[in-house]
Amino acid sequence: MKKRCECGDTKKLHLRTVVYARKVNITRVPVYCCSRCGSHEVDSGVKGEIGSLIGQLGSKPAPRTIPFDQMNEWAGVLSLAMDTGKEPLEENLVARAAEERTNELLDLWLIAASLGDEIWKSELEGRLSQLRSLYIS
């Protein structure tokens, strides 16, 4: 998992703790980092969600730790891949983790469907679409 850096080297994907307003630790955020020039960039797939999270926290948040991989499926998948391998994240491990998580969500969706639980179903559909749109892009 890497992309080109402006300096000509490559940025690699890591999971980092982002500190907001010096009080809130948002852990396991996917960030591309360049080891040559030190440039950092939040993965474009999660930028929107980080933005709205920060918006909800407001300008004077209470100190707390937010595990981002529990909120966002893509961060969850990367976190799973990291537990089975090492940083920087390898593409094949990420692909495998994404597939496992997708299958898990589909199993849950089938259970929700058989129970006729519409709220649970739509929550799972939201999670599945997070994975699909991010992973395929």
Nearer to Zn ion among residue 9 and residue 90 (C-beta)? 9
The CB-of-79 to Zn ion minimum distance in angstroms stands at 25
The CB-of-40 to Zn ion minimum distance in angstroms stands at 10
The CB-of-74 to Zn ion minimum distance in angstroms stands at 23
Q: Is the Cβ–Cβ distance between 36 and 7 less than 8 Å?
A: yes
**Closest CA relative to residue 75, chosen from 24, 131, 32:** 131
Cα–Cα distance, 78 to 93 (Å, whole number): 9
Nearer to Zn ion among residue 16 and residue 101 (C-beta)? 16
Nearer to Zn ion among residue 5 and residue 124 (C-beta)? 5
**Closest CA relative to residue 57, chosen from 30, 29, 21:** 21
The CB-of-43 to Zn ion minimum distance in angstroms stands at 16
Interaction site with Zn ion (CB under 5 A): 5, 7, 9, 34, 36-37, 39
Nearer to Zn ion among residue 7 and residue 115 (C-beta)? 7
Residue 27 CB contacts under 8 Å (≥ 6 apart), including other chains:
15, 17, 65, 66, 67, 68, 69
